Structure 1
Amino acid sequence: MIGVAPPAYDPATPTTANTLPVGGPATVRAYVAELLRRHRRAFVLLVTVNTVAVVASMAGPWLLGDLVERVSDSARELHLELTAGLFLAALVVQAVFVRQVRLRGAMLGERMLADLREDFLVRSVGLPPGVLERAGTGDLLSRITTDIDRLANAMREAVPQLTIGVVWAALLLGGLAVTAPPLAPAVLVALPLLVVGCRWYFKRAPSAYRSEAAGYAAVAAALAETVDAGRTVEAHRLGERRIALSERRIREWTAWERYTLWLRSVLFPVVNITHVTVLGSVLMVGGVFVLHGWIGIGQLTTGALIAQMLVDPVGLILRWYDELQVAQVSLARLVGVRDIEPDAGDASVRPDGRHVRADKVHFGYRPGVDVLRKVSLDVAPGTRLALVGPSGAGKSTLGRLLAGIYAPRNGRITLGGAELSRMPAEDVRSHVALVNQEHHVFVGSLRDNLLLARTGAQDAELWAALGAVDADGWARALDEGLDTEVGSGGLALTPAQAQQIALARLVLADPHTLVLDEATSLLDPRAARHLERSLARVLDGRTVVAIAHRLHTAHDADVIAVVENGRITELGSHDQLVATDGAYAALWRSWHG
């Protein structure tokens, strides 16, 4: 079969997800088998009620065939009342059990979909933080939204309907072999055409659907990144370049959409021809057999009706199997997170103290390109360290390394002599916390948002945490206090209030080492200064690494590290660095006027 060729390969065109892996066939099969084991009772019940419904549906052809046979034999007693009664009874049984099939299928699909959502969320949250940060907004967003939406239809309908179709077709073939054995081989006449058409289609469809899904992820990534960095795009006049990139990604995605549509436009006519061939072969072969007296006219009638009934289950199987090709790609993208080894670490690696040290650290986001080079730093317990320097110098990257988010390519980051990259993620979080410019308000009550940091905290502790970050004033003014619904659909908090909630969570989590990555950047300078003074009381005695672009934060620090071009070029107190008259002194004069 010759037709439209797939879109030409472009090295810039993604065919897989950007960072998070796509699950291989073994991973997908293992997960599907696990889902079926979880819901085996519901699956067996679905097959059982479907079997009863199909057997009841075959009563009609059998009764009609028997009636035709008696008429052809000129029988005096046709027993029409009995035939009509049996037919009506079979129809009622079929209707009842078809309803059960639809109900049980829908319930099974919803339960499996719920399991899939929960499994993906739990697994994603358990991934190493560095993996999630490098994954990219577009890829992660497309998996959570588009792939889940595509799978919703498959889980609700495709899996139950495919099961129903397979059982249906098998029982009809069995019924044909029992009621009209000589006609059963006639059904196989159309099999070669169906096999050839399906092999042609399914050889091309999976890779095409994968490319289509990856193309959509690339579109989502380009759009999300452009919107998130809108001000930067405007500042650097990158609008035309970003628009051109988005348009190119859309063209690549739609090219794969057209290709998969063309594949289906070839498959469906083949299926329709198969249906006609099945019925035609049964009638022609059966007619010859009747003329030779090998079978009766009643058997031919029954066989023809059952062959006609095969159209529905075969169409159902192919339709939903095609749907599963799309769903399989989305499922592979969702279960791909299972291929990422959890950041288990070594539970035996435990810190002996609170001393933070970086020793000749190299780190880069891409192979061969280091953002940090030969960075060494010694932070004693209780020290307040400020990281300052121009944008892009590596301050935030160094902060994430010190917080255990990333592992260095070379060198070591240690806490109390224990290497952070070897410690389990949960242990690292109990000692070190990172608060950056990003803040999240979850849908729910204000209390629920705070309890994320410490589930067992009492209301008095929650109010104390809010008070520590100067948020108790506006929080107590709320009509329902801690029970006030916030987030989407609830009270819309200002960016400053959302940031105060994030800092209140930090107070509740109570780690001994904190990394603040411009944590007060969304507050106006006066409010930020006031909040930092309040935090100073809360953070007393803790080790604090503050990444700030407001130099008053550095002025209050015990030690200041100036980061330039991925290196620490100056280290000392505010007075020492001003007296040195280097890079920090120049920054201070520029900022202070």
Structure 2
Amino acid sequence: MSGRTALPVADARSLRRYVRDLARRHPRLLWTALGLHVGAALAGLAAPRLLGNLVQAVEEGTSLGHVDRVVLALAGFLVLQTVLTRYARLTSQVLGEQVLAELREDFVDHVLALPVGTVESAGSGDLLTRTSRDTDQLSWSVRWALPEWTIALITAVVTVIAAVSVGWWVLLPLVVGLPPLVIGLRWYLARAKAGYLRESASYSTINATLTETVEGARTVEALGLGRERVEAIDDDIRESYAAERYTLYLRTVFFPSMELSYLIPTVATLLLGGYLYSQGTVSLGEVTAATLYVQMLIDPVDRIVSILDELQLGAASLARLLGVAQVPDDRTATGRHPDGEQLDASDVRFSYTEGRDVLHGVDLHVGVGERIAMVGPSGAGKSTLGRLLAGIHPPRTGSVTVGGVGLTELPLDELRGHVALVTQEVHVFVGTLRENLALAAPPGAGEERLRDALDAVDALEWADALPEGLDTVVGSGGRALTAAQAQQVALARLVLADPHTLVLDEATSLIDPRAARHLERSLAAVLAGRTVIAIAHRLFSAHDADRVAVVEGGVIAELGTHDELVAAGGSYAALWESWNGGVTDDRADA
């Protein structure tokens, strides 16, 4: 995972605090579920006591009627236990679903609040694994493991109390079984969390490598990097194998040691009870009841131990999900409000890697309503500067302000009303075209507003041609949109969002040059009066701009109007001559 910054993982204290907060939100359901579980456990404890009394009665001599009454009592307690267990499980599952829904909503809120720069530096693999595998594992733990573990724990506690109520001597067999149980648990719990976190992290690494390889398949093939990518995924799989082998080792040591803690108390109860009975200290009925109670402990203790493994997985997943909320914010809202829409960058320096700046003291002052085109060779820093001007990243030094207020001092919702960024990397969400547009529309925006936005970006014709118009389902599993259509949808969202300043980073790159020229002219009419910063390789955008900023080597090497820069005979003039000489007249026409 070289070059990536791993997203944080919540510590044990944060986990406990979050679980307590969840419990406080649902006190009624929680206490109802616990009460029903206790009632079900108590109903199940009647059988050993009744059977012990029956054995004692048989030894002393009893009637068939007494046996019938005991059998009826056993049946009654069994029915009661079944009913209580049914409603206890139902209440627990309802509680679990509510808790799980809140967990997912909290996770989505935290993911959407992540700084874009953090997501990019972490890579998609880690976040995808948390969104998919960790969420699924936590769902399993909340829906099944946690309720079953709670039932087993309550049953074990009340069973121990019932066993001791038979006689103090039952404590001795129970205490004998504690050492292997305590030692095994302490050994396992000290190692399990780190082991399962390592296992989950290995899945994130595999996903990241696979995603990068698939997304960059053409580059991998063109540069002959296939073997290197295969070796990279092999290394990731070896690490994942080692992590899974370690957790398997923990289980193979832990579970056999637990078997001793189950068997020793039962055998010890029979031996000690038999000895005390032979001495006349206890009755046969007491020995029978005590042995049955201790025998009953095997199942809940076994479930406690077995499900503990699932809970460790769930706890590791929860720690990873909660860790997303611990990513430090890249902005601090100060409560200041911009005085106007003037956009200024002063002595801006920025680096993706410590000690390696990609922008070196950039100054750019954009007038209200001005259209600036940023051009320059690939890797010069155009997109990076554009992202800083849109408030995606904070500068390392210097400042980027709108109306005299730093962009990272504004909450995201407020910032997007001032400055918005559209890149060539667009996404069509699963849903209708109308829903995709409504994401950026103000509340209550009607059909006419959506259609006007589509018309502004030359998309209304093909949108009306869809089988169900704006109600056509698009995105994954729906109607597939072309790359150009998806980009037009993104631009229509921009029109609906109605920010004052727009940063367009190759926003029409996926549309053919002739259509892009027409689209930009259409957008120009819609965006009149707004500030526009357009980053592009197609120089007709620069020709139409009020000023052109030429970015080279992380600095603005030239700044002026198209005519001024052509007359100056510098870098821009060379770019214009090269581009203008290689296009047809209708593309170069201004």
Q: TM-score, normalised by structure 2?
A: 0.95
- Corresponding residue number in structure 2 for 1:383: 370
Q: CA contact under 8 A between 2:400 and 2:407: conserved in structure 1?
A: yes
CA offsets, 1:49-96, max 9 Å, x none? 111211111111111111111112234576011011101111111122
Q: Which moved more, 1:94-103 or 1:310-319?
A: 94-103
C-alpha distance in 1 between matches for 2:320 and 2:63: 67
C-alpha distance in 2 between matches for 1:77 and 1:185: 36
- Corresponding residue number in structure 2 for 1:175: 162
- Corresponding residue number in structure 1 for 2:462: 474
Q: CA contact under 8 A between 2:330 and 2:408: conserved in structure 1?
A: no
CA 1:555 to 1:524, structure 2 compared with 1: closer, same or farther past 3 Å?
same
Amino acid at match of 1:309: M
- Corresponding residue number in structure 1 for 2:9: 22
Please, which of 245, 249, 263 is the counterpart of residue 276 of structure 1?
263
Q: Secondary structure at the match of 1:371?
A: strand
Q: CA contact under 8 A between 1:343 and 1:425: conserved in structure 2?
A: no
C-alpha distance in 1 between matches for 2:504 and 2:575: 20
Aligned: 1:188 with 2:175 = yes
Please, which of 541, 544, 554 is the counterpart of residue 566 of structure 1?
554
Aligned: 1:464 with 2:456 = no
Q: Secondary structure at the match of 1:363?
A: strand
CA offsets, 1:171-223, max 9 Å, x none? 10111112343213311101011111111111111111111111111111111
Q: Secondary structure at the match of 2:491?
A: helix
Q: CA contact under 8 A between 1:70 and 1:78: conserved in structure 2?
A: no
- Corresponding residue number in structure 2 for 1:298: 285
C-alpha distance in 2 between matches for 1:102 and 1:444: 36
CA offsets, 1:303-332, max 9 Å, x none? 111111111111111122221111111111
Q: Secondary structure at the match of 1:405?
A: coil
Q: CA contact under 8 A between 1:162 and 1:320: conserved in structure 2?
A: yes
Offset of 1:43 from its aligned partner?
Answer: 1.5
Q: CA contact under 8 A between 1:399 and 1:515: conserved in structure 2?
A: yes
- Corresponding residue number in structure 2 for 1:503: 491
Offset of 1:27 from its aligned partner?
Answer: 1.3
- Corresponding residue number in structure 2 for 1:102: 89
- Corresponding residue number in structure 1 for 2:573: 585
Equivalent positions of 1:482-497 (< 5 A) are: 482-497=470-485
Offset of 1:337 from its aligned partner?
Answer: 2.4
Amino acid at match of 1:558: D
Please, which of 135, 144, 164 is the counterpart of residue 122 of structure 2?
135
Q: Which moved more, 1:337-346 or 1:527-536?
A: 337-346
CA 1:344 to 1:580, structure 2 compared with 1: closer, same or farther past 3 Å?
closer
- Corresponding residue number in structure 2 for 1:575: 563
Please, which of 306, 312, 323 is the counterpart of residue 336 of structure 1?
323
Q: Secondary structure at the match of 1:421?
A: helix
Equivalent positions of 1:157-172 (< 5 A) are: 157-172=144-159
C-alpha distance in 1 between matches for 2:129 and 2:79: 46
Q: TM-score, normalised by structure 1?
A: 0.94
Aligned: 1:513 with 2:498 = no
Please, which of 519, 523, 532 is the counterpart of residue 535 of structure 1?
523
Offset of 1:535 from its aligned partner?
Answer: 0.9
Q: Which moved more, 1:257-266 or 1:483-492?
A: 483-492
Where do 5+ consecutive residues of structure 1 fail to align?
A: 1-11
- Corresponding residue number in structure 1 for 2:311: 324
Q: Secondary structure at the match of 1:79?
A: helix
Offset of 1:341 from its aligned partner?
Answer: 4.4
Q: CA contact under 8 A between 1:436 and 1:518: conserved in structure 2?
A: yes
Offset of 1:99 from its aligned partner?
Answer: 1.9
Amino acid at match of 2:105: E
Aligned: 1:123 with 2:110 = yes
C-alpha distance in 2 between matches for 1:297 and 1:550: 96
- Corresponding residue number in structure 2 for 1:80: 67
Question: How many pairs does the alignment contain?
Answer: 580
Q: CA contact under 8 A between 2:50 and 2:74: conserved in structure 1?
A: yes
- Corresponding residue number in structure 2 for 1:8: none
- Corresponding residue number in structure 1 for 2:203: 216
Q: Secondary structure at the match of 1:562?
A: strand
Please, which of 233, 246, 254 is the counterpart of residue 267 of structure 1?
254
- Corresponding residue number in structure 2 for 1:5: none
C-alpha distance in 1 between matches for 2:68 and 2:519: 89
Q: Secondary structure at the match of 1:352?
A: coil
Q: CA contact under 8 A between 1:67 and 1:78: conserved in structure 2?
A: no
C-alpha distance in 2 between matches for 1:222 and 1:313: 43
Question: Identity percentage over the alignment?
Answer: 51
Q: CA contact under 8 A between 2:173 and 2:264: conserved in structure 1?
A: no
Offset of 1:13 from its aligned partner?
Answer: 8.3
Offset of 1:373 from its aligned partner?
Answer: 0.9
Offset of 1:344 from its aligned partner?
Answer: 6.2
Offset of 1:397 from its aligned partner?
Answer: 0.8
Q: CA contact under 8 A between 1:558 and 1:573: conserved in structure 2?
A: yes
Q: CA contact under 8 A between 1:437 and 1:521: conserved in structure 2?
A: yes
Offset of 1:347 from its aligned partner?
Answer: 4.4
- Corresponding residue number in structure 1 for 2:585: none
Q: Secondary structure at the match of 2:357?
A: coil
CA offsets, 1:122-141, max 9 Å, x none? 12212333333333211111
Equivalent positions of 1:429-468 (< 5 A) are: 429-454=416-441, 455-468=443-456
- Corresponding residue number in structure 2 for 1:35: 22
Amino acid at match of 1:508: L
Q: CA contact under 8 A between 1:360 and 1:412: conserved in structure 2?
A: yes
CA offsets, 1:253-287, max 9 Å, x none? 11101110111011111111211112111111111
Amino acid at match of 1:530: H
Q: Secondary structure at the match of 1:354?
A: coil
CA offsets, 1:502-531, max 9 Å, x none? 111100111110001111111122222221
- Corresponding residue number in structure 2 for 1:6: none
Q: Secondary structure at the match of 2:337?
A: coil
Q: CA contact under 8 A between 2:330 and 2:393: conserved in structure 1?
A: no
CA 1:235 to 1:564, structure 2 compared with 1: closer, same or farther past 3 Å?
farther
Q: Tell me how large the CA RMSD over aligned residues is.
A: 1.8
C-alpha distance in 2 between matches for 1:260 and 1:70: 52
CA 1:105 to 1:74, structure 2 compared with 1: closer, same or farther past 3 Å?
same
C-alpha distance in 2 between matches for 1:139 and 1:166: 34
Offset of 1:343 from its aligned partner?
Answer: 5.8
Q: Which moved more, 1:190-199 or 1:548-557?
A: 548-557
Amino acid at match of 1:517: D
C-alpha distance in 1 between matches for 2:7 and 2:372: 34
Amino acid at match of 2:130: R
Offset of 1:447 from its aligned partner?
Answer: 1.5
- Corresponding residue number in structure 2 for 1:7: none
Q: Which moved more, 1:541-550 or 1:128-137?
A: 128-137
C-alpha distance in 1 between matches for 2:63 and 2:216: 87
- Corresponding residue number in structure 1 for 2:233: 246
C-alpha distance in 2 between matches for 1:53 and 1:97: 5
Offset of 1:540 from its aligned partner?
Answer: 1.2
